[in-house]
Structure 1
Amino acid sequence: MSRQLEFTMGGLLDHIAQQFPDNEALIYVERGLRYSYREFNEVCRQVAKGLLKMGIKKGDNLSIWAYNVPEWVILQFATAKIGAVLVTVNTSYKSAELEYILKQSDSNTLFLVQGFKDTDYVATLLDVAPELATSRPGELQAANLPCLKNVVFLGEGSHAGMVDFTGIMELGKDVSDAELAAVESTLDRHDVINMQYTSGTTGFPKGVMLTHFNVINNGFNIGECMRFTDKDRLCIPVPFFHCFGCVLGVMACVTHGSAMVPVEIFDPLKVLQAIEKERCTAVHGVPTMFIAELEHPEFPKFDLKSLRSGIMAGSNCPIEVMKRVIRDMNASEITIAYGQTESSPVITQTRTDDAIELRVATVGRALPDVEVKIVDIETGNELPPGKQGELCTRGYLVMKGYYNMPEETAKVIDADGWLHTGDLAVMDENGYCKITGRIKNMIIRGGENIYPREIEEFLYTLPKVSDVQVYGVPDRKYGEQVMAAIVLKKGVTMTEEEAREFCRGRIANYKIPKYVKFVDSYPMTASGKIQKFKLREMAIRELQLEDAGETA
């Protein structure tokens, strides 16, 4: 029987902290940091009070630019306790993208770490807002970023013009419980408290507005699909700035009183160490993460017997990888989830007791209280089971809209409240869905519609193949041709002809890749989504197909 949680995020955490006060809430293995739910709630309340003292008000937009540091999870709840909106910034962004997000979101506060990989965040911010170097903390007046007033540093040390995160906790000591309670009493569960920018794989990123109700209920139902209880312990190596981390990870745990075991920056060895040391019962990841864990040279040394479940999502889940996760990682109840940020984010998920065939061949069925239909991409009419069309969804999970983009919102949410995903899918008579591609990823070769997913799944059965992505490139004669970018398993070699020969007689000739390229990795968003449009752009340059693209 389905049920919906009526809490705000702050109210939810108060409730769970009362129900499971001594349960471990948040564990950072490398830092030796452990919070029980009672302690975690108290820290979040203290930070919420500090934000109030800083002058942050309900409805203010606050950006966070950081990998999975402890402050991230604390801020997810602290900001929600006062009704401020946490705007999540992609960890891979550079200066132009940061400037765009801070401007477009009207953020008055930015929380940031020193940097990530090859990007120094502090230096990048100074490029965008040089006035910070000479401003008093809390009084920034930047020509490029008129809304931004506060910059808060997360980490050791201090920087000119910035408030230190520990300073916020100190400020909170001057605010009473009654003052915080008064603010919380004005909040509504349908208020926006989270804003995530779509990956921007096409056009400018759009700010997806999500409410308390969106993320709490989506997180709760995700956890239910994994049969989570207060005894579960989830390893979270996926980024918090993306729904995979902050909803499928954090909210699935908090709604069930489960323990969160984040990995700050993905490293397959650290994931394996965290699972073993903390006896994690579940682990999340995109397929490339699971591949990296399975193929790590030290993988056989680890005791993963505690593992039971988790989620593989974010991009197409290769059947062979799924089978290895079940067999070799002991995650016999691993699930597949499908969705997008605009649906907060999960629409369908497999269940732990689904037959293995369903768990490797579909993305499951609709979550409770979620409607799903498949419509004809030309007419918009609903299609019967077994017919391919666009997947649409309706229910509590649909976003409020794109921030300050009403026209873009109207393009994806129709008058009847259906969110149009842009994904091609087939649903069977039991409601289980197979995602067959993106409408814009479909390859049309000489009038034949080709769905890259089908060819990818076929090529995954080649023993030497670790990963594969299939996409279309321009062709003068046929309009488009099929191209495959293949990552080989370590220590093996293969020729282009060998890959094509494997296909001959097994799949239709028009589906056999005309072009095969061997690569070490794929261009990705920081949330683990493979950017096929970049693969296509590289191929067009390398194969000198610019003219073909113009005439195709």
Structure 2
Amino acid sequence: MLPRGRILSEVLAQTVAAYPDNDAFIDNESRETWRSLSEKVDRTAAALWQRGVRKGDHVAVMLGNGVLWLQTFFACARIGAVTVPINTRFKKEELVFCLKQADAKAIVLTGQFLGIDFAALLSEVEPALAVGLPGEVLPKLTQVLMFETASVPAGAIDFDQLLASMSQEDINACSLQCGSVSPDDILLIQYTSGTTSFPKGVMLSHDNMLSDAYAVSLRMGITPEDRYFSIRPFFHVAGSTLSILVSVSTGCCLLTLPKFDVSLALAMLQREKCTLTSGNDTIFLMLMGHPDFDASNLHLRGGWAAAGPEVMQKIHDQMKVPNLCNAYGLSEASPNVVMSSWDDPLPLRTEGWALPHKGVQVRIMDTNTNEIMPAGQAGEIEVKGWSVMRGYYNMPEVTARTFTEDGWLKTGDLGKMDQAGRLKMVGRLKDIFRVGGENVAPTEVEGFILMHEAVELAQVVGVPDERLGEVPAAFVILKQGHSCTPEELIAWCKPRIANFKVPRYVQVVDSFDQIGMTGSSKVQKNKLRAYAIAVLGLAEPTK
């Protein structure tokens, strides 16, 4: 029976009580037991409470994978505050949009991460950080709490010093005063690329995420003795739900790295005798293609992948992982909708056929007739049940359009079901494409390109790439009397948007008429993609 109606602080407390001295979290710098992690959470919650963070407040987290992310996330949950994960690859425009749209009261960040000066970036977003908050750009942002920095701006707090100053009385006071948290309270707002020009904030409750994590752990067959290596960024739900909360729900040890370095990942898998892992096509192909790869050095028995049949088969045959599960989901569903069971027959797992979790319903709809499709016929995947989001933050109209009149979430993905009720995702109805596991909305990239003074019209599609799966290709029409080379446009994009959104290819065209236009004068993306593949001399990946 799937446990429901839980809150994160209670689940963490139960796991700490059951396995206090077991390994809870390991990276290349930290090694925490459940007891030591819990102590860090207590101290962090007390510090946030002292700085005025209360139930319902939105706390942005701009940290890489590590124990600081965990203790901040758990501390916010203890108070009842809402964690707003920030993609560490965001540039100025994306960061200011998310902080403003999310009504962030506080942000927890590190001074630098992987060569990026987060302090300088935030100062560029909100100049008042240099003198004192709040400022004019982000008037609701009153707390900037910085880890691991030698120079703290006048408007920020040295979070390391604040944590060190917390006494047992402070910790007790926070525990007594922070009040009750409900399973239906929002735990996290996940920003995800969509069909709008900027990301949308998916509101996920404690019940959404914890129930999804537990259901996934059952499909994966996890025990407290497992050692689960996940390189998925914690700022994605594949990291927060399917890594962090899976570990907390089961008591297994979570292992990670701040970024995906193939050699370091293989070394950790071997050294720490990891039994489970997760990833997409790109991650597994890079692991198996590395000179250091030797399946005989690994101890993997399972985990999950969002991967096609060929890659799933390769993981089984070459990586020697016997019980890997196939997964499908989306942020709006916490994220996992279906996952094959570790003991399902191999053909079902490699081909991607999986049952929905108990209490989650799936149907396949004909988008033209709005009728349910029979078994074996492809249509749009729609989802209903406990995993579905509470809506997009401050976007009621967009939220309404995302649901059917009878309350089903429209995923925008193409799938089919078999007679047994198993689902297989077969494609995307949306224009979104994935670059090495990152969702990219063409309209978002187009919006940035259109900020260039020489560009009149821009259209972006995802085109095949051997390493990343897909990469952006941009086709632009220039304004009359203006000039701009493809190289100049790519260079202009690089400092403005995350690198995975920067077009790999740019072509200047005179019009889109010959490529394909709809009756309402919209470029047909499927025809543009086919044109791009042909003109760029690319090849579709083998099915």
TM-score under structure 1 length normalisation? 0.79
Which of 123, 129, 146 is matched with 2:126 structurally? 129
Are 2:262 and 2:287, in contact at CA under 8 Å, matched by a contact in 1? yes
Q: Tell me the equivalent position of 1:67.
A: 64
Are 2:146 and 2:160, in contact at CA under 8 Å, matched by a contact in 1? no
SS at match of 1:365: coil
Alignment of 1:355-504 (within 5 A): 355-441=345-431, 485-487=464-466
Alignment of 1:55-454 (within 5 A): 55-117=52-114, 119-135=116-132, 140-161=133-154, 162-173=156-167, 175-176=169-170, 178-183=172-177, 185-200=179-194, 202-300=196-294, 303-304=297-298, 306-313=299-306, 317-441=307-431
Are 1:195 and 1:207, in contact at CA under 8 Å, matched by a contact in 2? yes
Identity of aligned residues (%): 32
Are 2:55 and 2:178, in contact at CA under 8 Å, matched by a contact in 1? no
SS at match of 2:415: strand
1:209–1:392: structure 2 CA closer, same or farther, 3 Å change rule?
same
1:325–1:201: structure 2 CA closer, same or farther, 3 Å change rule?
farther
Q: Tell me the equivalent position of 1:26.
A: 25
Are 1:108 and 1:147, in contact at CA under 8 Å, matched by a contact in 2? yes
1:59, distance to aligned residue in structure 2 (A): 0.4
1:542, distance to aligned residue in structure 2 (A): 6.3
**Letter matched to residue 152 of structure 1:** L
1:157, distance to aligned residue in structure 2 (A): 2.3
SS at match of 1:323: helix
Q: Distance in 2 between matches of 1:183 and 1:37?
A: 24
1:311, distance to aligned residue in structure 2 (A): 1.4
Q: Distance in 2 between matches of 1:134 and 1:217?
A: 44
SS at match of 2:96: helix
Are 2:134 and 2:142, in contact at CA under 8 Å, matched by a contact in 1? yes
Are 1:197 and 1:205, in contact at CA under 8 Å, matched by a contact in 2? yes
Q: Tell me the equivalent position of 2:485.
A: none
1:218, distance to aligned residue in structure 2 (A): 0.5
Q: Distance in 2 between matches of 1:141 and 1:359?
A: 52
Q: Distance in 2 between matches of 1:418 and 1:84?
A: 28
Q: Tell me the equivalent position of 2:536.
A: none
Q: Distance in 2 between matches of 1:529 and 1:400?
A: 31
In structure 1, list runs of 5 or more residues that go unmatched. 443-451, 454-470, 472-481, 490-522
1:273, distance to aligned residue in structure 2 (A): 0.9
SS at match of 2:337: strand
Q: Distance in 2 between matches of 1:199 and 1:27?
A: 30
Structure 1, residues 305-324: CA drift from partner, whole Å, max 9, x if none? x21111112xxx23222122
SS at match of 2:277: strand
1:122, distance to aligned residue in structure 2 (A): 1.6
1:298, distance to aligned residue in structure 2 (A): 1.3
**Letter matched to residue 546 of structure 1:** F
Does residue 3 of structure 2 align to residue 9 of structure 1?
A: no
**Letter matched to residue 548 of structure 1:** Q
1:437, distance to aligned residue in structure 2 (A): 1.5
Between stretches 113-122 and 398-407, larger displacement belongs to 113-122
1:55–1:488: structure 2 CA closer, same or farther, 3 Å change rule?
closer
**Letter matched to residue 154 of structure 1:** F
Q: Tell me the equivalent position of 1:546.
A: 512
SS at match of 1:434: strand
**Letter matched to residue 126 of structure 1:** S
SS at match of 1:203: coil
Structure 1, residues 232-274: CA drift from partner, whole Å, max 9, x if none? 1111111000011111111111100000111111111111111
1:22, distance to aligned residue in structure 2 (A): 1.7
Q: Tell me the equivalent position of 2:490.
A: none
1:61, distance to aligned residue in structure 2 (A): 0.3
1:530, distance to aligned residue in structure 2 (A): 8.1
1:551–1:12: structure 2 CA closer, same or farther, 3 Å change rule?
closer
1:233–1:169: structure 2 CA closer, same or farther, 3 Å change rule?
same
Are 1:222 and 1:349, in contact at CA under 8 Å, matched by a contact in 2? yes
1:231, distance to aligned residue in structure 2 (A): 0.6
Q: Once superposed, what is the RMSD of the aligned Cα atoms?
A: 2.9
Alignment of 1:487-526 (within 5 A): 487=466
Q: Distance in 1 between matches of 2:67 and 2:314?
A: 31
Are 1:8 and 1:188, in contact at CA under 8 Å, matched by a contact in 2? yes
Q: Distance in 2 between matches of 1:207 and 1:488?
A: 29
1:219–1:183: structure 2 CA closer, same or farther, 3 Å change rule?
farther
In structure 2, list runs of 5 or more residues that go unmatched. 435-441, 443-460, 469-492, 519-543
Q: Distance in 2 between matches of 1:382 and 1:298?
A: 49
Q: Distance in 2 between matches of 1:175 and 1:408?
A: 45
1:175–1:337: structure 2 CA closer, same or farther, 3 Å change rule?
farther
1:422–1:57: structure 2 CA closer, same or farther, 3 Å change rule?
same
**Letter matched to residue 16 of structure 1:** T
1:172–1:373: structure 2 CA closer, same or farther, 3 Å change rule?
farther
1:202, distance to aligned residue in structure 2 (A): 4.5
Are 1:220 and 1:252, in contact at CA under 8 Å, matched by a contact in 2? yes
Q: Distance in 1 between matches of 2:114 and 2:513?
A: 37
1:45, distance to aligned residue in structure 2 (A): 1.4
**Letter matched to residue 112 of structure 1:** L
1:328, distance to aligned residue in structure 2 (A): 2.4
Alignment of 1:528-547 (within 5 A): 538=505, 541=507, 546-547=512-513
1:130, distance to aligned residue in structure 2 (A): 1.5
Q: Distance in 2 between matches of 1:529 and 1:22?
A: 41
Between stretches 91-100 and 323-332, larger displacement belongs to 323-332
1:116, distance to aligned residue in structure 2 (A): 4.3
1:199, distance to aligned residue in structure 2 (A): 2.5
Are 2:415 and 2:423, in contact at CA under 8 Å, matched by a contact in 1? yes
1:77, distance to aligned residue in structure 2 (A): 0.7
SS at match of 1:97: helix
Q: Distance in 2 between matches of 1:261 and 1:529?
A: 26
Structure 1, residues 73-122: CA drift from partner, whole Å, max 9, x if none? 11111100000001011121100111111100010111122344564222
**Letter matched to residue 102 of structure 1:** L
Are 2:186 and 2:203, in contact at CA under 8 Å, matched by a contact in 1? yes
1:228, distance to aligned residue in structure 2 (A): 0.4
SS at match of 2:152: coil
Are 2:129 and 2:153, in contact at CA under 8 Å, matched by a contact in 1? yes
